[in-house]
C-alpha cells in the first residue's frame, strides 16, 4: 500500500503541469470546450482541490484569451509543451506594452481573445467602445450561479450554503438565482449543502430568465430544443405534462437522468416532433453562440487547417481570416434553421410561444422579427 501511495504521489502533476497538459490538448482541438478538456485532464491525474482550482484558473484564463497570448508569444518556437508553457507564462505576465495589429477588427480580436469574425460584427453593430466592452467581458471568467427550486425557500438555501452569495438585479428576471460571489467553492458546487437533496442546480441567470418568461400554471408544454434539460427541469415542475424534444437523442438520455435526480416527470420524444398542440412552446434555438462565449469558451466552429506560417500569431491570423470569410454563410444557415423551428413551434402553440437565442448578432434577428409578428398578430403567413 505504501509503495502504491508513493507511486501515486510521484505520478501526480502540479497545477502548472496540469494546466500545461490541458493547454496542449486544447490547442490540438479547439472545437472541444475548454472546461471539457480540463475535466478530462483532471480525471486522469490525482490532485487536491486546491491544485484543481489553481490549474483551472491558469488554463481557463489562458484558453479564454489564447489569441492575445499567442500574439505575445509569436516569436516562441518549440514543441507543443514548450509553447504551452510559454503561453501560460505570458498569461501570468500579460504584457500590455506591445505593438498590436493595425487592423481595428484584428486588434480587438487579439487584445480581447475573442474570435475575429465576432469582433468584426460587434464593431459593425455596436460601435468601437461598446464592442470593446463586450469582447473583453466575453473572454472573462463568468460567475457561478445557482437556481433554487420553486418549492424551496430561497432564503433558507442561501443561509445554509456557507459561502458568499448575491442576487441578480430584479430587471434580469431571475428571482430564483443565487450567484456565488467568490466563484467555485472548495470541493465544487456538489459539495455545498443542499446539492444531494437537489435543492438547486447550476444555471446562468440568463437561462433562468427564459424559464421565468414561460410563466406558470399551464397544462401542457413542449421544450423544442431541450438539450440536456437545463430549462426543462424547472418547467416540468410548473406544468402538468412536459414534452422534451431534441434532434440529439443522446442529450435526451442525460435529460432523463437529471429529471430523475430532480424528482420531476418528463416525456422525451424519439427525435420526432409530436403532432399535437401545447399550451406553451419554448424554442431556445440553436445559434452562433455569440452571447455565451464567456460560459462555453467557444462559438460556432469551422474545420480550418493550419498554414505553414512560422510564428503563432501569423498561423492564428491566417485561420481567423478564413473563418471570418465563411461566417456570413454560417450565420445565414442558422437564421434559416431558426425560422424553420419557429414555424414548427407556431403550428403547435395553443397559447404561449417563448423564443430565445444566445446570439448578439443582427444576422440572427429574423427569428425575433417572426416571433414579434406571431405575438402581435397570432398568425403569420408562412
Question: If DSSP codes are grouped into helix, strand and coil, which group holds residue 115?
Answer: coil
**Cell triple for residue 377?**
398578430
Partners of 355 in the β-ladder: 283
Closest CA to 16 of 61, 62, 51: 51
**Cell triple for residue 243?**
414534452
338-341: list long-range contacts, CB under 8 Å, 24+ apart: 338/285, 338/286, 338/287, 338/364, 338/366, 338/367, 339/366, 339/367, 339/370, 341/224, 341/225, 341/283, 341/285, 341/286, 341/367
**Catalytic (active-site) positions:** 358
Burial of 125 (0-12, 13-18, 19+ CB in 10 A): middle
Percentage helix, strand, coil, to 5, in the chain? 50, 10, 35
Write out the DSSP string of 30-81.
TTS-HHHHHHHHHHTS---HHHHHHHHHHHHHHHHTHHHHHHHTTT--S-HH
**Residue 310 gets which letter from DSSP?**
S
**Are the beta carbons of 25 and 36 closer than 8 angstroms?**
no
Burial of 258 (0-12, 13-18, 19+ CB in 10 A): middle
Residues 92, 95: Cα–Cα separation, whole Å = 9
Element (H, E) at 166: strand 165-166
**Are the beta carbons of 32 and 296 closer than 8 angstroms?**
no
Residues 298, 301: Cα–Cα separation, whole Å = 8
Greatest alpha-carbon span in the chain: 75
Amino acid at each position: 500500500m505504501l509503495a502504491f501511495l508513493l507511486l501515486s504521489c510521484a505520478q501526480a502533476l502540479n497545477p502548472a503541469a496540469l494546466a500545461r497538459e490541458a493547454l496542449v490538448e486544447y490547442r490540438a482541438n479547439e472545437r472541444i470546450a475548454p472546461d471539457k478538456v480540463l475535466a478530462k485532464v483532471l480525471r486522469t491525474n490525482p490532485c487536491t482541490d486546491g491544485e484543481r482550482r489553481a490549474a483551472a484558473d491558469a488554463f481557463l484564463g489562458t484558453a479564454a484569451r489564447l489569441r492575445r497570448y499567442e500574439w505575445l508569444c509569436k516569436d516562441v518556437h518549440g514543441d507543443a509543451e514548450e509553447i504551452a508553457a510559454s503561453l501560460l507564462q505570458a498569461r501570468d505576465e500579460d504584457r500590455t506594452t506591445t505593438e498590436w495589429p493595425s487592423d481595428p477588427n484584428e486588434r480587438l480580436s487579439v487584445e480581447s481573445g475573442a474570435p475575429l469574425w465576432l469582433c468584426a460584427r460587434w464593431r459593425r453593430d455596436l460601435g468601437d467602445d461598446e464592442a470593446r466592452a463586450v469582447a473583453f467581458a466575453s473572454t472573462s471568467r463568468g460567475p457561478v450561479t445557482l437556481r433554487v427550486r420553486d418549492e424551496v425557500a430561497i432564503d433558507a438555501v442561501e443561509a445554509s450554503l456557507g459561502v458568499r452569495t448575491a442576487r441578480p438585479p430584479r430587471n434580469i428576471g431571475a428571482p430564483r438565482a443565487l450567484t456565488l460571489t467568490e466563484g467555485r467553492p472548495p470541493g465544487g458546487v456538489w459539495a455545498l449543502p443542499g446539492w444531494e437533496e437537489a435543492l438547486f442546480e447550476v444555471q446562468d441567470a440568463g437561462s433562468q430568465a427564459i424559464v421565468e418568461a414561460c410563466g406558470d400554471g399551464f397544462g401542457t408544454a413542449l421544450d423544442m430544443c431541450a438539450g440536456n434539460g437545463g430549462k426543462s427541469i424547472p418547467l416540468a415542475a410548473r406544468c402538468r405534462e412536459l414534452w422534451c424534444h431534441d434532434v440529439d437523442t443522446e442529450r435526451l438520455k442525460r435529460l432523463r437522468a437529471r429529471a430523475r435526480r430532480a424528482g420531476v416527470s418528463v416525456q422525451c420524444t424519439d427525435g420526432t416532433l409530436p403532432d399535437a398542440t401545447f399550451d406553451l412552446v419554448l424554442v431556445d434555438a440553436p445559434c452562433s453562440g455569440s452571447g455565451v462565449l464567456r460560459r462555453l469558451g467557444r462559438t460556432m466552429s469551422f474545420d480550418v487547417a493550419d498554414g505553414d506560417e512560422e510564428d503563432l500569431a501569423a498561423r492564428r491570423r491566417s485561420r481567423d481570416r478564413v473563418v471570418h470569410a465563411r461566417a456570413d454563410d454560417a450565420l445565414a444557415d442558422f437564421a434559416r434553421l431558426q425560422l424553420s423551428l419557429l414555424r414548427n413551434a407556431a403550428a403547435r402553440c395553443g397559447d404561449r410561444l417563448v423564443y430565445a437565442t444566445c446570439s448578439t448578432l443582427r444576422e440572427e434577428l429574423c427569428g425575433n422579427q417572426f416571433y414579434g409578428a406571431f405575438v402581435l398578430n397570432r398568425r403569420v403567413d408562412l
